[in-house]
Structure 1
Amino acid sequence: IPAMSTCASSPTLPMIGGDFMFANFPGDNVQATVSAEWAHQQGHESAYIIYSPDSQYTTMPLYFADVFEALGGEMLGQDTHSIGQQDFSAIATRISALDPQPDVIMTSSYEPDFPSMLKALRAAGVTAQVIGSDGIDSPTTFSLGDAGEGVVFTTAGHATEGSPLAEFNAKYEAATGNPSETVFNAVGYDLVTVVAEAVKAASGSTDPVAIRDALAELENVRGATSLITYKGTNGMPVREVTLIRVTEGERELIGQPSPTAELIPAPRMQ
């Protein structure tokens, strides 16, 4: 029976789940490649990563480090933390003591860890560019005030005027009475769209194997967030990655680049 995850992003997911496992979100190694390439293009030459070994997702910075070094950047160090940790003062103190300071700090931590980490870094005088991932695409990130200003993160999409995502958001608000405050609403819609397209491609069949085989051959399915392709993959989709900067508490679109294929690291089993 084919199984699909709305927003799991570990590229190891199909390796663990087998041929009937599919994801619907940009892989961790793909997101990390996009953010590392962006950091390099901005002229950042040194980086520091903070990650948690507690889950596959929170080890995304290891992929970032691989790509950043492949591009000629220097890794100045790394720290680990536990999921749910609230005190990041020791990590912030270690980074603030570095001379020179890193140009970039990359993490894939999310609430409640990320806000605490970010506030600790800024309180310690660390001014490095902070790069996060889709886990912080939430209203909390945009309510952090000065601490959150300038944070850049990868996510699954951004609504520009006339885009499919803007159209989805308008329909979402009309149906629910509330604006969509996160891209994950549209990502869920896209998963249903992908399943529907697979059923159509299987001539309307509800046979699990027929649907699985159709999923594996889908190309350029038009979702609200991106064109989505599974053909030629191992169950992780080929799709856009969006880069967002927090600017005065609002989303600023930096770009929606495709990663350089040869730079994408192989999936890393925890």
Structure 2
Amino acid sequence: MRFSVKTGAPLLALALALSACGTSGGDDEEASSGGGEAGTCEDVAIGYFGALTGAAANLGINIRNGVQLAVDQFNEENADCQVSLEEYDSAGDPNQATGLATQAIGDDSVIGIVGPAFSGESDTAGPIFAEGGLPTISASATNPDLSQNGWDTFHRVLGNDASQGPAAATYIADVIKSEKVFVVDDASAYGAGLAEIVEESAGDAVVGTDTIQTGQTDFSATVTAIRSSGADSVFFGGYYAEAGLLVQQMRAAGVEATFVVADGVKDPGFIEAAGDAAEGTIITCPCLPPEEEQEFYAAFEEAFGAAPATYSAEAFDAANVMLEGILEGNTDRESLLEWINDYSGEGITKTITFDEDGEPENISVWAYKVENGEIVADQEIETN
């Protein structure tokens, strides 16, 4: 892998030119052969599935707002085809996912889901969505195993941790020049899975590992282990609430090792939790910096009074894949699933095409850095 600073991404139209047929996954006749007439729809909804409350709610709200913007723009442009948005707030808890997924498949008007947002809830809800034939596109769930369950309904628009993990390890070795890496995870499906990949990729440079729990606030034992190991970098697989407290306690104990985290920490909530200790943290993410797409950035800021954040743009793309299919007449789950499986079109984050497992064929991983209390893009990590 090599590292390079990405100098710019192509600026696309804000919406996906939904009235055009050229970006569909099949020919015009096939695209209009679903449950409704192309250009019209009635009693059709897509859903957002993920956290709107709970410790990692910020990440879910980012995604929900990206979906909401796509739906609002679609409805403004298509008077004869109004699509509603249903919200399924999981609080990021896999234990709540079963009931919510059952609720979603029981609502016949819901023909597609953007989500689930997190890997743990995706693992729980995935078989239910598959049984109900309800297509999903996640903008954020990155555990590699999710696409290996044989769920025809599963898709995601971002690279998984099989690309993010090795990229993080290479950044640690080649950019940070770290020779001693300590790996910590939060025992979640996302955090533990990613940490394991980083540990394997870092190889002999790993001088220690530890596991914490989500909701934990005292990391003194972990900090002691890190300090004793002599590590010059620490990788943490988990979410921003625990990451903020961990690095704060590391710095208070005099541990100066570079703190490296991943997409679950890419949120202002990390800086709020960590305070000044957040400075210098490296964050990897298989996501495009939102400011790369200036029209989307401006529209999002106008709609929500805040800049788009982690996975807002990916959620916007995921929703627009479904909305384009709906406009082409795919107004039931079966035909919309066929549309998504065969889809090829331009999003604002990438050209979107799914392989037979629902994985995107185009991926990118970026490194971000906390500077002066802000999360800023550092460089794109080439994954080929």
Alignment TM-score, normalising by the size of structure 1: 0.82
Matched, 1:158 2:289: yes
Give the CA deviation at 1:210: 3.9
Structure-1 residue corresponding to 2:209 = 78
- Residue identity matched to 2:215: G
Tell me the SS of whatever aligns to 2:367: strand
Alignment check: 8 A CA contact 2:142 2:159 kept: yes
Matched, 1:129 2:258: yes
Mapped to 2, the partners of 1:91 and 1:108 lie a distance apart of: 14
Matched, 1:212 2:337: yes
Mapped to 2, the partners of 1:193 and 1:210 lie a distance apart of: 16
Structure-2 residue corresponding to 1:7 = 140
Matched, 1:113 2:242: yes
Matched, 1:250 2:379: no
Alignment check: 8 A CA contact 1:23 1:236 kept: yes
Moved more, 108-117 or 13-22: 13-22
- Residue identity matched to 2:178: H
Say which one has the larger Rg. 2
Query: Which of residues 177, 185, 195 is equivalent to 2:322?
Result: 195
Matched, 1:54 2:164: no
Structure-2 residue corresponding to 1:264 = none
Structure 2 unmatched ranges of 5 or more:
1-132
Alignment check: 8 A CA contact 1:51 1:109 kept: yes
Structure-1 residue corresponding to 2:383 = 259
Mapped to 2, the partners of 1:102 and 1:31 lie a distance apart of: 21
Structure-2 residue corresponding to 1:68 = 202
Root mean square deviation of aligned Cα: 2.2
1:151-175 CA distances to partner (integer Å, 9 max, x unpaired)? 0112212134xx32x3212101122
Mapped to 1, the partners of 2:381 and 2:284 lie a distance apart of: 10
1:21-40 CA distances to partner (integer Å, 9 max, x unpaired)? 11233312221121111112
1:79-98 CA distances to partner (integer Å, 9 max, x unpaired)? 01111111101110111122
Structure-1 residue corresponding to 2:35 = none
Give the CA deviation at 1:15: 2.3
Tell me the SS of whatever aligns to 2:315: helix
Give the CA deviation at 1:103: 2.5
Tell me the SS of whatever aligns to 1:214: helix
Structure-1 residue corresponding to 2:85 = none
Cα distance change, pair 16–56 in 1 and its aligned pair in 2 (3 A):
farther
Mapped to 2, the partners of 1:243 and 1:104 lie a distance apart of: 15
Structure-2 residue corresponding to 1:147 = 277
Tell me the SS of whatever aligns to 2:149: helix
Cα distance change, pair 226–130 in 1 and its aligned pair in 2 (3 A):
farther
- Residue identity matched to 2:186: S
Give the CA deviation at 1:198: 4.9
Mapped to 2, the partners of 1:40 and 1:121 lie a distance apart of: 21
Alignment check: 8 A CA contact 1:228 1:239 kept: no
Query: Which of residues 171, 174, 177 is equivalent to 2:302?
Result: 174
Alignment check: 8 A CA contact 2:367 2:377 kept: yes
Tell me the SS of whatever aligns to 1:106: strand
Mapped to 2, the partners of 1:207 and 1:250 lie a distance apart of: 43
Structure-2 residue corresponding to 1:235 = 358
Give the CA deviation at 1:181: 5.1
Query: Which of residues 178, 183, 186 is equivalent to 2:313?
Result: 186
Give the CA deviation at 1:17: 5.8
Mapped to 1, the partners of 2:239 and 2:196 lie a distance apart of: 16
Q: Percent identity?
A: 25
Cα distance change, pair 146–56 in 1 and its aligned pair in 2 (3 A):
closer
Runs of 4 or more, structure 1, over 4 Å off, are 197-200
1:195-241 CA distances to partner (integer Å, 9 max, x unpaired)? 235557xx54335344333323334x4333334331x3521223222
